[in-house]
Amino acid sequence: MDPTDLERAHDRLLREIEAEALDTRSWTGRARFSDRVMEAMAKVPRHAFVLPEDTPYAYVNRPQCIGYGQTISQPYIVAVMTDLLDLKPTDRVLEIGAGSGYQAAVLAEVAGKVFTVEVVPELADAARERLRRLGYGSVSVRDGDGYQGWPEKAPFDAIIVTAAPRRIPEALVEQLGPGGRMVVPVGRVHETQMLYRCVRRPDGTLGKAGLLPVAFVPMVHRQ
Active site positions, annotated? 73
Whole-number Å distance between alpha carbons of 200 and 182: 8
Whole-number Å distance between alpha carbons of 212 and 195: 5
Whole-number Å distance between alpha carbons of 148 and 96: 10
Residues β-bridged to residue 114: 93, 139
Whole-number Å distance between alpha carbons of 174 and 154: 9
Whole-number Å distance between alpha carbons of 141 and 162: 15
**Cβ(175)–Cβ(149) below 8 Å:** yes
